């Protein structure tokens, strides 16, 4: 039985965690992700990443449980997922030639020791100047309706950018692997350790 559990229903987070070649289980934490009034983006991802891991803690004793949450921020506004293609095109038009920041919260609960750690990663995306036609073609081809900010860096969205800025590009997809490896090593599970 794996000692590691991912508290997420995201296939993108599972694909990232697969890179570490560690056995793990995953389960959807099914929590209310509604921001609280006046809650900052940083406080939101902190609370939600920890809440996701905590939701599974009782069911997974003697495990390391990973929780992660991400928000996209543009001009101090937390961006949601677009409702339809028109909303996706409108979001991308706003970003043309501008910067969008992604904040990703990462929590690791050790249910054996009754401890947890939470950290945050910021990753910025600088968009190229985009015209209406290329935005429309991108949205029609990629259909990024399940992605905050209306794009997928792991797909064709990379063609929209001028530059990426941050310590771990995996954070942009939703699971900062560099920080996760650090937290796992502290918890006694070295991704490069003997198996």
Using one digit for the tens of pLDDT, what is the confidence trace for 25-41? 999 999 999 999 999 99
Catalytic status, residue 110? no
Q: Is 171 within the bounds of a domain?
A: yes
Q: Is 37 within the bounds of a domain?
A: yes
Q: Is 195 within the bounds of a domain?
A: no
Single pTM value for the model? 0.89
Mean pLDDT of the chain: 93
Q: Which helix (H) or strand (E) holds 12?
A: helix 11-18
pLDDT at 2: 59
Give how many domains the chain has, as a whole number: 1
Cα gap 132→90, rounded to integer Å? 9
Q: Is 111 within the bounds of a domain?
A: yes
pLDDT at 194: 75
Cα gap 119→161, rounded to integer Å? 26
Say which CATH number the domain at 131 has.
3.90.950.10
Q: In this structure, are strands 4-7 and 64-74 parallel, antiparallel, or unpaired?
A: parallel
pLDDT at 195: 67
Query: Which residue range forms the structural domain that includes residue 90?
Result: 4-186
pLDDT digits (tens, 9 = 90+) for 55-78: 999 999 999 999 999 999 999 889
Cα gap 19→71, rounded to integer Å? 23
Is residue 181's pLDDT more than 60? yes
Cα gap 41→27, rounded to integer Å? 25
**CB atoms near residue 10 (< 10 Å):** 18
The one catalytic residue in 69, 76, 131, 190 is: 69
Q: Is 191 within the bounds of a domain?
A: no
Q: What is the DSSP string of 70-133?
A: EEEEETTEEE---SSHHHHHHHHHHHTTSEEEEEEEEEEEETTTTEEEEEEEEEEEEEPP--HH
């Amino acid at each position: 039985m794996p000692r590691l559990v991912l508290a997420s229903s995201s296939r993108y987070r599972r694909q990232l965690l697969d890179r570490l070649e560690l056995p793990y289980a995953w389960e959807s934490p099914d929590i209310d992700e509604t921001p609280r009034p006046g809650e900052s983006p940083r406080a939101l991802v902190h609370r939600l990443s920890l809440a996701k891991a905590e939701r599974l803690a009782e069911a997974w004793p003697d495990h390391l449980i990973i929780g992660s949450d991400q928000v996209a921020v543009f001009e101090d506004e937390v961006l949601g997922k677009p409702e339809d293609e028109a909303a996706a095109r409108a979001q991308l038009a706003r970003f043309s030639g501008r910067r969008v920041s992604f904040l990703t919260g990462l929590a690791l609960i050790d249910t054996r020791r009754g401890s947890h750690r939470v950290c945050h990663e910021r990753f910025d995306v600088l968009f190229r100047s985009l015209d209406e036609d290329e935005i429309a073609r991108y949205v029609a081809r990629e259909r990024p309706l399940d992605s905050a900010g209306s794009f997928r860096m792991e797909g064709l969205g990379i063609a929209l950018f001028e530059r990426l800025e941050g310590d771990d590009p995996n954070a942009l997809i939703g699971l900062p692997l560099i920080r996760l490896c650090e937290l796992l090593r502290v918890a006694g599970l070295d991704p490069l350790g003997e198996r």
